[in-house]
């Protein structure tokens, strides 16, 4: 945290320091905010206790007037970004999106730099491709043995 604070204090003001993507509990995120370690707090709902944990991190950001960036998993985070006013980014890695598309249907579409969820579907709308998931698990299980 001291190193991140040093970067914030001495780096170019045009570069926002973002971190936190490996956090999984509120204490972790609170410490980053207390130390003034970041310009943008970053969280990942797949690590920080799901959507509820992500909502807790967003509340911490709101209390500190600090933006929140969603780390990868754009199919999940696009919906949170639409619903939460403090979310400023959703990271988009092509390899992650490729993996998501192998396992899930109804993923948000990337159009001109924006992720567009299908608002005609209930909830997040994402559906597991069960046959593909089972096949992938079987291949993975054999490789691990």
54-104 per-position pLDDT tens digit: 999 999 999 999 999 999 899 899 989 989 999 999 999 888 898 889 899
24-34 mean pLDDT: 95
- Report the candidate in 64, 84, 66 with the shortest Cα–Cα distance to residue 76: 84
Q: Per-residue pLDDT for 35 more than 80? A: yes
Looking at residue 4, its pLDDT comes to 96
CA distance 19 to 76: 19
| For the chain, percent of residues with pLDDT exceeding 70 | 100
pTM (two decimals):
0.85
CA distance 113 to 95: 16
Q: Are 44 and 70 in contact (CB under 8 A)?
A: yes
Looking at residue 42, its pLDDT comes to 97
> What tokens does 60 get?
């911490």
Looking at residue 142, its pLDDT comes to 85
> Where residue 129 falls among pLDDT bands split at 50, 70, 90?
very high
CA distance 135 to 3: 44
Looking at residue 21, its pLDDT comes to 95
């Amino acid at each position: 945290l001291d190193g991140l604070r040093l970067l914030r204090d001495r780096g170019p003001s045009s570069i926002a320091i973002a971190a936190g993507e490996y956090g999984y509990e509120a204490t972790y995120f609170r410490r980053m905010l207390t130390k003034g370690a970041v310009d943008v707090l970053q969280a990942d709902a797949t690590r920080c206790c799901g959507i509820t944990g992500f909502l807790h991190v967003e509340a911490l950001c709101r209390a500190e007037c600090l933006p929140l960036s969603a780390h990868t998993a754009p199919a999940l985070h696009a919906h949170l970004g639409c619903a939460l006013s403090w979310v400023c980014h959703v990271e988009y890695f092509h390899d992650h999106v490729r993996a998501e598309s192998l396992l899930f249907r109804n993923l948000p579409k990337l159009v001109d730099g924006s992720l567009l969820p299908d608002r005609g579907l209930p909830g997040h709308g994402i559906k597991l491709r069960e046959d593909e998931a089972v096949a992938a698990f079987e291949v993975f299980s054999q490789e691990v043995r």
